[in-house]
Amino acid sequence: DVKVTQSSRYLVKRTGEKVFLECVQDMDHENMFWYRQDPGLGLRLIYFSYDVKMKEKGDIPEGYSVSREKKERFSLILESASTNQTSMYLCASSSGQGAFQPQHFGDGTRLSIL
Amino acid sequence: SQQGEEDPQALSIQEGENATMNCSYKTSINNLQWYRQNSGRGLVHLILIRSNEREKHSGRLRVTLDTSKKSSSLLITASRAADTASYFCATGDPNFGNEKLTFGTGTRLTIIP
């Protein structure tokens, strides 16, 4: 089975801190995705990557950056955390063309910015 | 932008009954996927239906797709308490060359034992 592992289930940080969320997948998938999930808004795509060192902006990239130095690892970075970035963050991976293949999700990181 | 919209937003039924959830979308698609999310967990892929398919089955799940109405439905037969979860539809976004999925806001299903 595909395993997508997010480094933390719960995280509490302070406004202005630089925050790193890590995601690792074990199935050699080309595509990796970062979403945030908020009540009433569903899942919104922040960034995705279809290859090492490649990245594409999603629907809400402002205030975020990403890094993919190795195929199995995709990091989400909050450059200067703000309270409106309090949310559930979900990482996913897929093989081939993202929309034609199932996405495999981690269990999420619930991030609180105080 | 939200592509898929699920209906109803919430649904409660007795165990053993069938549950039907609907999804409407706005633009042309190549395929549509359904996912389940248990409380506090990540999403789990359930089924993928291609635009040239009208119906697909997987165990107790039945998905239909009507591209003329831009809608899909997910039927769960003989529901169980373990089916309690949120269900999301997702479609490929042609504006991004089908590299990404756009998810709806979900239907929260509660199965009453």
Residues of chain B with pLDDT under 50: 1-2
Name chain A contacts of B104, Cβ cutoff 8 Å. 42
Mean pLDDT over each residue of chain B, to the nearest integer: 90
| Per-residue confidence (pLDDT) for residue B24, from 0 to 100 | 93
List CB contacts (< 8 A) between A56 and chain B: 96, 99-100
pLDDT digits (tens, 9 = 90+) for A44-53: 999 999 999 8
User: Hey, what's the torsion of the CAs at A82, A80, B1, A41, to 10 degrees?
Assistant: -30
B89-113: per-residue pLDDT in tens?
Answer: 999 866 666 667 888 889 999 999 9
* pLDDT value for A101: 87
Q: Nearest C-alpha of chain B: how many angstroms from A15?
A: 24
pLDDT of residue A37: 96
Q: Which residues of chain A have pLDDT under 70?
A: 2, 97-98
- Predicted local confidence at residue B2, as pLDDT: 46
Q: In the prediction, which pLDDT does B3 show?
A: 61
CA-CA distances (angstroms) from residue B14 to B28, B39, B83, B96? 36, 19, 11, 41
CA distance linking residue A43 with residue B86, whole number of Å: 12
- Closest residue in B to A46 (Cα–Cα): B100
Q: At A114, is the secondary structure helix, strand, or coil?
A: coil
| pLDDT tens digits, one per residue of A62-71 | 999 999 999 9
